[in-house]
């Protein structure tokens, strides 16, 4: 409804303020609360920003109640079925799907940025042999700010944003693969631009200088699919971090590094590692019921990982897609499937249990992704760097959108102060107990 407003009244003073209601393409209407500060001197208290719209965005929409995820209006199911990761990257950056010529030029332009400066390689040497790959990835991505930085750069007006996007998307597989190679004492592998984006990444990860490398096409497609599903997911913690860092008109690689730091947390990108640990602990489908009962016991602090989501209150659409490809991959590669069988039994019991149904605890994207990474022989400490590699596409799309936003302003959340009242300083010798 055009011109819709919400009136908020302070009963203590009788003063009222009219707040505009903003309508998006989809989703709940949003109250523009800015008049509260101007008219009543009040702010909205929203811990974790779960009920706060901090920006306008045309990139990704998700409906947690209905289990819907759209990128630029396209359902994730259709993109997963028909698209490729680099095409989804084009969509996120440009807003539309490319034609054949545009797609060819886009792929070529990304391949022209797969190399990194040789001096970047020396950064890896400063890490301990057992450093977590996310620690390395955060550091080297941040270091790229020193290779692509002009002191007086106006990132909002003077920067070629598409060039920045191509650099980020093109270099992330190179940087991530070196984290794995360094951790395992293997020589770094230069990219081979005759290969596709995902195959090139696998080549840099797993090839040996002495042997030809030909990855299984099913494995390439499975990883490409995971990258599509991880490419963007609206204003989550890491994306919000990238936007907040960018709001200070910061170097884009520094912003991406900040996003990597946030993604690393076990409550965000690190959750798929926790799922694998859980499935290994359960061990067998016969043990699933015991662990489900433990999770339901309020006196037991045990938690089942990979269930529930901050936004989704229905089955995560990405989890449905991953479940299918997980089964196909394991069958194609003729791999033993005990962990997958445990996951299937756990999902089967949980989806029929009133405890999980009432709390809307459905499998999320992390529930099956770790099994696929395991099948691809990707070590557990590389799970989150894989996530970061894919999500950097969404991050840079969000960064560009922020830079080009007419309503751009630096992020500055407020707080509810609950500390001491004003008090005067007392010299140490005069304090009680001195």
Told to judge if 309 belongs to the known catalytic residues of this protein, a careful annotator would answer yes
Yes or no: say if 237 and 54 are a contact pair by the CB < 8 Å rule: no
- Is residue 108 part of the annotated active site? The answer reads no
Catalytic pick from 71, 161, 230, 309?
309
- Give the strand pairing for 60-63 and 30-31: unpaired
Contacts of 353 (CB under 8 A, 6+ apart): 292, 296
- 3-class secondary-structure state, position 71: strand
Is 273 within 8 Å of 99 (Cβ atoms)? no
* Tokens at 285, concatenated: 């489908």
Separation between Cα atoms, residue 384 and residue 89, nearest integer Å: 19
The label of the residue with tokens 């903003």 reads 22
Task: Exactly one of 158, 366, 407, 424 is catalytic; name it.
Answer: 366
Number of Cβ within a 10 Å radius of residue 341: 15
| Cα–Cα distance for residue pair 265/52, rounded to 1 Å | 22
Which of helix, strand or coil describes residue 235?
Answer: coil
Q: Are strands 15-22 and 30-31 parallel, antiparallel or unpaired?
A: antiparallel
Residue 189 makes CB contacts below 8 A (sequence gap 6+) with 177, 181, 203, 204, 205, 207, 209
Short-list 409, 123, 96, 358, CA closest to 249: 409
Handedness of CA 321, 327, 329, 332 (dihedral sign): negative
Measured distance CA(422)–CA(9) in Å, rounded: 30
Relative orientation angle of helices 366-375 and 338-350, to the nearest 10 degrees = 170
Element (H, E) at 162: helix 161-183
Question: Residue 176 in contact with residue 137, Cβ under 8 Å?
Answer: yes
Residues involved in catalysis: 309, 366
């Amino acid at each position: 409804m055009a011109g819709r407003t919400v009136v908020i009244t302070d009963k203590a003073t009788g003063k009222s303020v009219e707040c505009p209601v903003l309508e998006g393409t989809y989703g709940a209407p949003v109250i523009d609360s800015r008049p509260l500060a101007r008219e009543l001197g009040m702010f909205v208290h929203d811990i974790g920003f779960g009920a706060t719209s901090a920006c306008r965005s045309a990139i990704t929409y998700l409906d947690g109640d209905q289990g819907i995820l759209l990128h630029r209006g396209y359902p994730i199911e259709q993109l997963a079925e028909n698209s490729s990761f680099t095409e989804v990257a084009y969509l996120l950056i440009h807003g539309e799907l490319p034609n054949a010529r545009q797609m060819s030029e886009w792929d070529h332009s990304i391949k022209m940025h797969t190399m990194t400066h040789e001096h970047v390689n020396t950064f890896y040497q400063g890490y301990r042999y057992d450093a977590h790959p996310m620690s390395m990835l955060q550091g080297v991505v941040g270091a790229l700010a020193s290779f692509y930085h002009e002191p007086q750069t106006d990132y909002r007006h003077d920067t070629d944003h598409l060039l920045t996007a191509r650099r980020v998307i093109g270099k992330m597989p190179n940087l991530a693969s070196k984290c794995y190679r360094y951790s395992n004492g293997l020589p770094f592998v230069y990219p081979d631009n005759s290969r596709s984006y995902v195959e090139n990444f696998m080549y840099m990860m797993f090839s040996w200088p002495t042997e030809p490398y030909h990855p299984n096409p099913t494995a390439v497609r499975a990883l490409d699919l995971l990258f599509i599903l991880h490419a963007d997911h609206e204003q989550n913690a890491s994306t919000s971090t990238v936007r907040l860092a960018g709001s200070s008109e910061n170097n884009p690689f520094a912003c991406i590094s900040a996003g990597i730091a946030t993604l690393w947390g076990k409550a965000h990108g690190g959750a798929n590692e926790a799922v694998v640990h859980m499935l290994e602990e359960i061990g067998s489908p016969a043990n699933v019921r015991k662990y489900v009962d433990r999770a339901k016991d309020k006196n037991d602090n045990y938690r089942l990982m990979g269930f529930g989501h901050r936004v989704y209150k229905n089955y995560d659409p990405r989890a449905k897609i991953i479940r299918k490809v997980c089964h196909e991959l394991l069958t194609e590669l003729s791999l033993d499937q005990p962990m997958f069988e445990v996951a299937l039994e756990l999902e089967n019991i949980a989806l029929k249990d009133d405890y999980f149904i009432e709390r809307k605890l459905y499998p999320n994207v992390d529930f099956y992704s770790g099994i696929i990474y395991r099948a691809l022989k990707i070590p557990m400490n590389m799970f989150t760097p894989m996530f970061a590699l894919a999500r950097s596409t969404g991050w840079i799309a969000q960064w560009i959108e922020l830079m080009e936003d007419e309503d751009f302003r630096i992020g500055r959340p407020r707080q509810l102060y609950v500390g001491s009242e004003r008090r005067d300083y007392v010299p140490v010798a005069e304090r009680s107990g001195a």
